[in-house]
Structure 1
């Protein structure tokens, strides 16, 4: 392969320099150059300049030029149909496209494959190809030949129970046809039809066909799936019957997609293997037959079967007595008798639409059902009807308890009763349970009661009347106390003629008036009381217990226990039954608990009076006698100074004091009127202890704290 370069001669130029692909490859005298030994379809870059011995031209602009591409190889037919042939070939380096010649006509293409469509079936065609680019075209490949297929048959099928019939239109040019059934070639035939025999009913099969000559074929047809007609239905039976419907079932048929069920000559399309025909008249005859079907057709009819609807079902009703239940129902058309079941057992077959179940226990529940009969047919049983006998009379009605406003009753439970009617003074009250309290009654009034049981079936007989009387009103008890007596009072109770008094658990009196005094008691003792009102024939309830104490006794032993210059402490003996004390100090009462008290904050050397009384919830005792007490004088404040042989003591004068008592080293050494004392003739460096107290004719102060002083050395 080569590329030929040419250019016009340049005036004065004596030679030309040629550059190919960036390298100077030649210097020539003529305005041309051939670049040889190149690969086909490859691109190269060229430039040229003119030369003299002393001068040059500029380089030409770069010229890119490709060699012509090589011939195409590998042209083959990849697929064939009855109307098209598909080809492919190997890509050629440097080619920008291809010229494909089909039956002498050129087709330009850029890919390495091409499909020629629109061809006639079973026709011959020739193909060759060449590559091309901007530099030119390559050489033609060798011719190849291809033939389109025969036209594809169009397959159809019809079905029988064990055979499928295939047909198709004749194909032009075909001499025979190949038939495939369920994936295997089963025959080659000359005519456009085939019968596939000995098949199972209701089974699906897959078919395809292709046309043939000695040298050509068509494509296979698309797969055609066809089923044989399903077999006849077996096992058609009646599964249940009511007065308005008949239910049927049958065996499933292989390959059936549905069924035609003929009922009294009318066909109903059904899926599944069961069907219920409803809306029928009672006690009527009906015929049934069935056939299977699928997309291919219908099977043969089954034999007829017959069925009869039941008689209409009676509607059962009942009424009750204490020992019997009466059943009734409307007559059923065509029925000649009726069967009665009680508590799970058939107890009678009767011609009339009624029955009495007798000799039953009161208040017991029973279950009933009935069905109508002829000699050849029945109705369904009625739904179970549960009915109870009326419960027995109530026994044991008694009064359980009585208050001034209510009467409580009780009675024995009655078997089968769901409740009771209680008649109180002629008025009926509905009650559940076996006890009832009638409240809101007036005190000391008479009342009558009777009762009867009941359930859903009805009411029993009334019991005998009983009588009851409410109690008298209960007194409201009050009390006041003395030291040795407690006085009880209460309001008079209507109708009461006397009152019974209980003290500390013992009835101590029966009185006509609403008061009582409990005397000869110990002071400060607690007692428990209750009272009830009486007539000759009735009583009230006892009052609630009232606990009341006598007033406690007078306080004894009140004495002054200790005294300071600002306080007086007193004490006394405890009083039985007292919960506290009133202590009167200089006319002012202080409430005290315990048996001692200290009055503080008093002025020194002042007189005070005290008396005391005990108290509890019932009241206060009598005052004790007055006692007196005087606070001490104020205590002096002692100071001291010393020399080698003496100590001088000093203090401020105490108000009310007339003298002072001096104690030195534990011994009283002087009583003086002044507020100075000199302790002389002492040893040097000796320690001494002192205290003093103030005095007058009637009183003293407390001793001062001990003062320790040492003489000088």
Structure 2
């Protein structure tokens, strides 16, 4: 009950029928059943691509196949309905035998011949920077098994390929001090492997530019340069040798140097890739040392000259006066001009070169010559000597005195004298001041010794010019040659005057006094003249106010007693008053007149202010009465006054008469 058909065409459908037969013959055919042959073995299996973990391949379509089964190393892997397939999860750079069979409804066809296919190489490891220039980067990596070459990528873009076994590469034509992302993949007959992890690498920094001197001292130099893009630090070289100084700023300095010496300075920039190229050397110099030996050499009344020791390496010297710059010279001598006579100046020098100014030396005080002494005056003379003086000259340490051009005498005082001279003779006296800078200017005056003394004549014209009850005033005609006059009163000790008038006070009224006057000079007292002169008489008072005891006007703490004589033919009315003497304050006073008590007080606001008693005492015509009084304030005095009518205008007694 089985059968078969052979010699058929692969993957072809056939209608198969069966009938039963016996001796009687053939029965009826059964219903036809369509049956197919299996598909043919796939042909054209080829590798198409690979990665480090997968392989891709394809084959020629098989007629009648409805799917295909993929085998790896003889083991079924998967089924696809297309003519392409892949294997994944593979090992890098590993060969695999790939087979495919076609299948239809009748079953699986035969396996194709095995084709060996290899995965791509693994991603390179150990990618590392090795060196760089300003425009190139060099690097290396670990060899990848099975790689026949390596592809290099910059910032994700393919650049070049190198052939195994080389495991080094480079990038060129780059920008200075710039970071680039570098990647490498391994390749072989199966294709390109996976790019390795990106590694950032930088070109070296550019050569620094703009290196320039900024400042210096005698032992150091300061400089700067233009910042270099991408630089992380800078190294400083001196004379081609690395100083070991690294800085992150774009300026630097060298210290511990020799004064006034040139140094070749260079700088290079540094980043993570290394050190760039040194810039061209720039010559820079330290400043000169401080000048020494500054010394005064000469002076005039308006200038000072000086010198100093030369400073090695100096190209010029600057001169300072009292801390202020005045001039520059290229020699070791200098001067200051247009100065003030007899004045001390602080002089300083500094040395200069191409790098700038060195430090100022210590100030040295120097003085212009002294001015001529002023006020040269004859102070006294005799027939054989002269004495003189002058105004002291500031800054002088002494004076030289000359007489008629003779050799000088010296003194530290502002006075001088000469003796052993001839009477009535002129001498030219010249005086100059000197100090450490030398002799100053001089002044001269002609001075004469005294003549032989001659007694002066008596003054003429002695005359009383005016008098009072207690004083006399008088005058006389001037006497030629007199230096003054002596005045005597009744033979008392004299008073002296240089005027041609005199007076005496505190005298007694109606009294005659003998006044004697004489002229004097260096020769002594001359002859005198005298004249009797009288004080004025006291006129008889109309109303007598006579103090018999005490002080009048009465002031604080004093009292007064006396009499009042009314010589009129009518009564008078007497009041007590207080007067301010010094301004504000209070005052009080009073007394008794002919038995009538009078009192007064008040508060003063101005000097000279009066307060008068509100009552008065009446003195009859021709009467003589007594009075007394006292003052109790601190700023005034007590006075008495009278009026001709009660409450009328007051006449004050200011003095006793």
How does the TM-score come out when normalised to structure 1? 0.36
- Which structure's relative contact order is higher, taking Cα pairs within 8 Å and 6+ residues apart? 2
How does the TM-score come out when normalised to structure 2? 0.38
